[in-house]
Amino acid sequence: MGIGSKERMDALIFHNVNMVRSEMRISMDTGIFFIYLAVMAGVTYLLRTLPFVLCRNQVENTFLRSFLTYIPYAVLGAMTFPAVFSSTDSLETALAGTFAALCLAFFEKGLLTVAAGACLVAFLLQFIERIAAGGVF
């Protein structure tokens, strides 16, 4: 089993369970849906807004300021690796796409170029794999 196979299995099981559910046509009560929605959106909104509204002054403390400067990059690093390796159909296509993204980003191409390049390389390799396996669909 490849990298990220656990997440994929979970996603697959989740997907299949839900396929069965929708076939059984269990639809959610509209009232309950709105309560779920309010709880979900409310918690998310408060998390996003409270620190933003409450923190009005520049942070003077060097440690805290440095911490806040590093946070975005640390978050993105942790979110990208190793999740990117299981972001496509197979490890090979994901690795190829990641490699393309790293090369493009190294030469400081724009966000869109890097994202599109990664997709294109992953897609082409996947396309070739499908053809080699005997058929695209």
Partner 1 sequence: MKEMIQGIRDGIPIALGYLSVSFTFGLMAVESGLTWWQAVLVSVANVTSAGQFAGLEIMSAGGTMIEMALTQLVINMRYALMSLSLSQKVDQTVSTGHRLLIGFEVTDEIFAVAMSREKKVSRIYMYGLMICPFLGWTSGTALGAVLGNVLPEFIRASLGIAIYGMFIAIILPKAKEDARYLKVILIAIFLSCCFAWIPFLQAVSSGFAVIICAVAAAGVGAYFFPVEADAEG
62 CB neighbour count, 10 Å cutoff:
8
Each residue 3-42 as x (binds partner 1 by CB under 8 A) or -, in order, gives xx-xx------xx--xx-xx--xxxx----x-xxx-xxx-
Task: Give the binding-site size for partner 1 (rule: CB under 8 A).
Answer: 90
| Residues of span 76-105 touching partner 1 by CB under 8 A | 76-84, 87-89, 93-94, 97-98, 100-102, 104-105
Q: Does 71 bind partner 1 (CB under 8 A)?
A: yes
Out of 108, 132, 133, 134, the residue judged to bind partner 1 by CB under 8 A: 108
CB of 134 to partner 1, least distance (A): 14
Q: Tell me if 83 sits within 8 A of 4, measured CB to CB.
A: yes
Q: Does 59 bind partner 1 (CB under 8 A)?
A: yes
Token code pair at residue 127: 């396309």
CB of 96 to partner 1, least distance (A): 9
Q: Tell me if 3 sits within 8 A of 91, measured CB to CB.
A: yes
CA distance 82 to 67: 23
Cα Rg, the chain, nearest whole Å: 21
Q: Tell me if 22 sits within 8 A of 14, measured CB to CB.
A: no
Out of 9, 12, 13, 68, the residue judged to bind partner 1 by CB under 8 A: 68
